[in-house]
């Protein structure tokens, strides 16, 4: 019985938008070449983003590090060559161009994996996407299609007070982040 192979996390650069393909192809190659003892998890760091579509809140996953795939691997023998030869892979993230791949620090890995776990557990914290005084368009609710300016932001409740002109009079509406979008 061989000693357990020590795997570390590496960052593989991929063509942006092709991360899923790289992951699928890499998983296929690992099983085809029986390299599972050298290659562990293959992750695409994603985050959930919410949008309102037709009045419904829809969540979709989006890569928050586009162009990067995390690979837990022991880079011995053929492994680096196999990873580099996957279509859409640009190469490893390393210290110097063409140099050896540098493993990620455990703290970085945990931060990214933590973010992935946190997202799967909690309804993710939306960053405050709005600024007081900014123009917004209402996209949901009875005031759909009205435009106004942000008067106040309540971060905790994820609500905005928006000054909207309705029939020539200004009214202050309280709306959730989900009910408005920035005016373009």
Topology of domain 8-121 in CATH is: Alpha-Beta Plaits (3.30.70)
Which residues of the chain form CATH 3.30.70.940? 8-121
Name the pTM for this structure.
0.57
Report pLDDT for 31.
95
Which residues of the chain form CATH 2.30.30.30? 135-182
DSSP 8-state symbol, 178: G
pLDDT in tens, the chain (184 residues): 455 678 999 999 999 899 999 999 999 999 999 999 999 999 988 777 777 777 777 777 777 788 999 999 999 889 999 999 999 999 998 766 666 788 988 888 887 777 655 555 444 444 567 888 999 998 888 888 899 999 998 887 888 999 998 888 888 999 988 888 888 7
135-182 CATH pick, 3.20.19.10, 3.40.50.300, 2.30.30.30, 2.30.30.50: 2.30.30.30
């Amino acid at each position: 019985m061989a000693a357990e192979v020590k795997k570390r996390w590496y960052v593989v650069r991929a063509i942006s938008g092709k991360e899923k393909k790289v992951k699928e192809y890499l998983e296929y190659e690992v099983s085809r070449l029986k390299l599972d003892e050298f290659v562990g998890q293959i992750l695409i760091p994603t985050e959930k983003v919410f949008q309102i579509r037709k009045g419904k809140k829809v969540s979709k996953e989006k890569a928050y590090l586009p162009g990067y795939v995390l690979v837990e691997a022991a880079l011995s023998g053929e492994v680096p060559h196999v990873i580099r030869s996957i279509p859409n892979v640009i190469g490893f993230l390393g210290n110097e161009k063409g140099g050896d791949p540098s493993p990620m620090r455990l703290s970085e890995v945990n931060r990214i994996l933590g973010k992935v776990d946190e997202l799967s557990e909690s309804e993710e914290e939306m960053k405050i996407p709005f600024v007081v005084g900014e123009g917004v368009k209402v996209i949901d609710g009875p005031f759909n299609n009205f435009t106004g300016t942000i008067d106040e932001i309540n971060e905790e409740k994820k609500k905005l007070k928006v000054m909207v002109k309705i029939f020539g009079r200004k009214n202050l509406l309280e709306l959730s982040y989900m009910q408005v979008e920035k005016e373009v």
